[in-house]
Amino acid sequence: MASEFPSPLLDRLSFLLGKLYFRGLDAETDELSALNLGVKQHAALGVLTREDPMTQQELGHRMGIDRTTIVAVVDDLDEQGLVERRRSPADRRAYLLTVTPSGRDAEERGRHRVAEAEDRLLGALDEPDRTRLRELLVRALGGG
């Protein structure tokens, strides 16, 4: 509830976005933990499920995360049998990441859990407001 914060902070966009971010992250973390997934692992599965197989480096770039972090994310997914590394036919030194059937299932179940977390997080907003919020955030970030 916004009234719990001092009114000068309610005028600061960074404060409001930060609070919403951390609440959303906590809610997603709680939901995804039941699937033994972290937020970054689930996000990686989402990218790999919806886009062509790609290298670990490409995945890190697409997600905007550093090389060390993407290595840990992919290693965890590989250990759980949710992704496979296969040699790239175009570059034998590189490996392409592909989602396994178990990975597709985990991604889908996780997507439903994330939606539930978002419903709770944005419970004060109706669906048109939620859609508009997403549109505005995407525009503010320079997309669409």
Q: What is the mean pLDDT of residues 57-74?
A: 95
pLDDT at 52 over 90: no
- The sign of the dihedral angle between the CA atoms of 137, 139, 57, 95 is positive
Contacts by 88-94, CB closer than 8 A, 24 or more apart: 88/55, 94/55, 94/57
Residue 77 near residue 44, CB atoms below 8 Å: yes
- pLDDT per position as a tens digit, 71-107: 999 999 999 999 999 988 888 888 899 999 999 999 9
Question: What are the C-alpha distances in Å from 2 to residues 17, 61, 94?
Answer: 12, 35, 49
- Mean pLDDT of the 58-76 span: 95
pLDDT (0 to 100) of residue 1:
52
Q: Give me the domains of the chain, ranges plus CATH numbers.
A: 13-120 (1.10.10.10)
Task: Please check the confidence at residue 59 and state whether its pLDDT lies above 70.
Answer: yes
